[in-house]
Amino acid sequence: MNARLAAQVPLGSADAGLNPLAALQKRLQHEFAAPALLALALTHRSFSSDHNERLEFLGDSVLSLAVSDLLYRQLSELPEGDLSRVRANLVRQETLHLLSVELGLPDVIRLGEGEVRSGGQKRPSILADALEAVIGAVYLDAGFVAAQNLVQRLFQSVEINPTMQAIGKDPKTELQEWLQARKMKVPMYRVVATLGAAHKQTFDVECEVIELNVAERGIGGSRRAGEQAAATAMLQTLKSRTKL
């Protein structure tokens, strides 16, 4: 881990008497044994080649498992398909963006100059990704239980109920449900290419349905957006095939 990361966290609004890292740890209710992990989680690729995308990848999976466990226990009467839909609402970019703002991540996220000028500290995709990276950092620092406890605290302010199943079905959720209704596995997503300057990157993402030997691609301004675009393309392909 690059030691300079822990020393270069930007000075933003913080609890009285605490530096930004310490203030954030207080809000997270987790004191890092390795503070450099938290600093790395707050580092966008436009700021440094040593950035938070690997932690984001890890945190995405940790978040999904923690939320799945939460829903399994709280919504014990819902079938699998409805649980998946509720989970999709909870881990979507819009929800994570709101939680990241509540945590004060816009004040501590580290961005390159170009990204700062373009308002990156307010960009939902950057903040949602940073929150996932923080969750991944807590997991590496203290294990799954600590990360799970963090996720549970984060979602205490979010109303979770069965009616969420009808809200805001995005292309990834729709595709997953389409496949599950036909007893197929969920699709696989992978980033094929990252294009453009660090502060204006686009992500070329492939969506593959292995059982049908079909792959489609989509491009977006973030990994999430690229995945949604690829899912949209896949849905169009699959639905057009069913009409033949």
Annotated active-site residue in 132, 170, 216, 227 = 132
**Cβ–Cβ under 8 Å, residues 212 and 200:** no
Beta-sheet pairing, 202-209 with 188-195: antiparallel
Active-site residue 113, yes or no? no
**Closest to 88 measured CA to CA, from 60, 116, 107, 114:** 60
Per the annotation, the verdict on 60 as an active-site residue is yes
The single residue of 56, 60, 141, 206 carrying the catalytic annotation is 60
Read off the tokens for 61: 């999976």
Do residues 62 and 55 make contact, with C-beta atoms less than 8 angstroms apart?
A: no
Does residue 33 sit in helix, strand or coil?
coil
The DSSP-derived string for 154-199 is HGGGS---GGGGGS---HHHHHHHHHHHTT-PPPEEEEEEEES-GG
Tell me the residue ranges of DSSP E strands in the chain: 188-195, 202-209, 214-220
- Say how far apart CA 62 and CA 56 lie, in whole Å: 10
Partners of 202 in beta bridges: 195
Run of H or E including 182: none
Closest CA to 1 of 37, 33, 30: 37
What is the set of active-site residues?
60, 132
